[in-house]
Amino acid sequence: MGDVAACIHVACINYLTVSKKISNPSTWTCDQCSSNTESVWICLQCAHTGCGRTCKNKHAQKHYNQTRHPVVLHINQKMLFCYDCDDWILNDNQFGYVTLLREQICRLQNQTFDSMKTRSGSVIPRPKRQFQFVKQKDDDDVRPDFSAEFTAQRYYHLMLQKRCVASWKLLKFAGQGALSLVTTPCNSLPPSPRNGFPGESSGRRFLGRTGLRNIGNTCYQNATLMCLSSMSAIRRLLYDAPDANDIAQRLTLKRRSSEDLYHEAKRIARTNTANPAIEGKVADVVPTVLCQMQKLFRVIWSGKWAGVSPAFFVKSFMMTVPSFQGYMQHDAHEFLTSLLEAIIVCKLDIQHVRDSIRESFTCKQVSSTTCHQCKTVSQYRAPGNFCITLDLDATCNRLHNESQRIQRTTGRYPRRQSSSSRLPVLSCSLEECLDDLVAPVELAGTASYRCESTYCSGSLASATKKDQFISLPQCILFHINRTKWDSKGKRKIMHRLKFPINGLDLSRIVSNDQVTGLYRLMGIVLHHGCDIDQGHYTSLCYQESLQSFVAFNDLASEIMMVEDIADGNYSGHPYLLFYEIQR
């Protein structure tokens, strides 16, 4: 292979402009569509950020066609590309600007913390002084790109969507011969039952329609938080719980308006937690994750803003869970379990609140092993888990193999595919994954069971192992495992999953005959992209007020019909499923 020619277009890099844009992770999205997929490029001449050629809109390439700025940098992978040369760039310019920009992105993605001691001797983490949290672009009082006009337009569009949904329901009732049951016109819709949630007394508000700003690869947090905010158990618990400041001080409930919480959240987001002058004020320096999540959710539930920056929550969570420091992409399932664990183990919060969250999400699982020689049954109770992990690939492969075996038996073979074609995209249902989860497993051969009974005296014997659940909580979280390791390394499983919207019966996985009830779907975290370690996260959340799902993509939101969710008419692959017991 010959030497790669150096690109001469790197001489046009405007380092100061690009460095200023990169220093704020909230700008790591497309300037036109706010996309935060795995392919976001920044122009090294004017600092324009746009989605790449693998995305639908291709705004980065359109920017090149308009401005003829050739050199772009991939923000996450830090690769350099030239549109004029139509090739990757391996060289740097004479000033080393490319190296400096890559190092700047790495410092932001790998932000680290040190610790400090309070007067009582407790050690709490804090960001290092040489690198502070960046000021978010929506923290100022004047926000031209996120103004009251934007909120008003968003509210107007949502009202139109709500009336369209109501009109569609009237037509649906008319087709079923039940139009006489509906007497309310579309322009005077009755208020939906809100179960006593905050902000419902003001008629013209949408609960849970406020989006979350992406402040730098935080789509995994935004999608998960929006699903949690749609759970009625969380909403009732955090609304009835004491105010965020009062939780830390063990005081009684204080009613505070969402405006106060919104402005206080902005103030906390600006606070420099590395200031030694406030050392010792633990409640002010490091508000607990539960406190900040409660503030964030109350602002979301108020419905008074089209969007809010979760910077104050992100800061508190990063300082509580150091593995999430920086602005690198993380896994939504790992974030969800770490968030619930951080809330439960924090002793600064009220005990009954932490106990309620533990009881609402913890699944109690038992593993029974029956020895084939002495018939002794040994049981092991596993520690409580927040999520039930399902092996999607194993279930799809089992169903595919059974289908192939039936076809061989009947003599009807599927059409042969070429060796160069991709592997078929298989599908299965959530119930089939649950059946495989609790299916008996035979332990024999190299996987024999060592029985400790008196009869077997620790010898190896064949046995049958079966996993089931003792009890199920009010909220069930399913993690769809989409990671597979093979000879080619780590890759994402693209199989389709079918799941019910209402009436999920989980009695099949409970050890006793007691049926806890049917569950309904409240939220879905979707993963977009071909790489599970990169990609983008969005969410689908069920809203009681609209009787439909709302698709959240950071700040953007769109109403989706329940029928579309049931038929799979959505983009992305289900990664986390949030179910709640029907009442």
pLDDT tens column, 379-424: 888 777 889 999 998 889 888 888 878 777 766 655 544 433 344 5
pLDDT of residue 476: 93
Q: Which residue has the tokens 């959710």?
A: 297
Per-residue pLDDT tens digits for 478-506: 999 998 877 667 788 889 999 999 999 88
Average pLDDT over residues 186-207: 42
Helix then strand then coil, in percent of the chain rounded to 5, is 35, 20, 40
Cα–Cα distance measured from residue 392 to residue 477, given in angstroms and rounded to the nearest whole number:
15
CA torsion sign for 145, 147, 149, 153 is: positive
pLDDT digits (tens, 9 = 90+) for 277-323: 323 333 344 578 888 888 888 888 887 777 888 888 998 898 888 88
* Least reliable range by pLDDT among 97-111, 243-257, 318-332: 243-257
Task: With CA atoms as reference, report the closest residue to 527 among 539, 518, 519.
Answer: 539
Contacts of 160 (CB under 8 A, 6+ apart): none
pLDDT of residue 173: 54
The reported pLDDT for the residue numbered 134 is 40
Measured CA to CA in angstroms, residue 449 lies from 172, 271, 459 at distances of 59, 57, 8
Count of residues in the chain: 583
**Nearest-5° Cα angle at 379, 375 to 380:** 150
Per CATH, domain 8-109 is 3.30.40.10: yes
Q: CA–CA distance from 388 to each of 139, 470, 479 (Å)? A: 38, 13, 6
pLDDT in tens, 523-551: 999 999 888 777 889 999 998 767 788 99
Q: Examine the pLDDT at 430 and tell me if it is beyond 60.
A: yes
Please report which confidence band the pLDDT of residue 431 belongs to, taking 50, 70 and 90 as the band edges: very high
Task: Provide the H-helix boundaries in 255-325.
Answer: 258-270, 282-285, 289-302, 311-320
Tokens of 119: 């007067």
Burial of residue 321, with CB atoms counted within 10 A of its CB: 0-12 exposed, 13-18 middle, 19 or more buried = middle
| Strand ranges in 5-110 using DSSP code E only, listed in sequence order | 40-43, 49-51, 71-74, 80-82, 87-88
Query: Three-class SS of residue 126?
Result: strand
Residue-range domain boundaries for the chain: 8-109
pLDDT of residue 78: 84
**DSSP-based three-state secondary structure for 537:** strand
pLDDT confidence band for 351 (50 / 70 / 90): confident
CA–CA dist 561, 406 (Å, integer) = 37
Residue closest to 34 by CA, chosen among 140, 150, 132: 150
Q: Taking the C-alpha atoms of 254, 259, 260 and 262 in order, what is their torsion angle to the nearest 10 degrees?
A: 110
Q: Is the pLDDT of residue 240 over 70?
A: no
Tell me the pTM.
Answer: 0.69
Handedness of CA 134, 135, 138, 144 (dihedral sign): negative
Give the least confident one: 23-37, 265-279, 352-366, 469-483.
Answer: 265-279
Structure tokens at 526: 């979707």
The rounded percent of the chain whose pLDDT value lies above 70 is 69
DSSP 8-state assignment for residue 3: P
Q: What does the pLDDT look like over 83-125, one tens digit per residue?
A: 998 888 888 888 888 888 888 888 777 765 454 444 444 444 4
Residues near 486 by beta carbon (within 8 Å), at least 6 away in sequence: none
Cβ atoms of 540 and 570 within 8 Å: the answer is yes
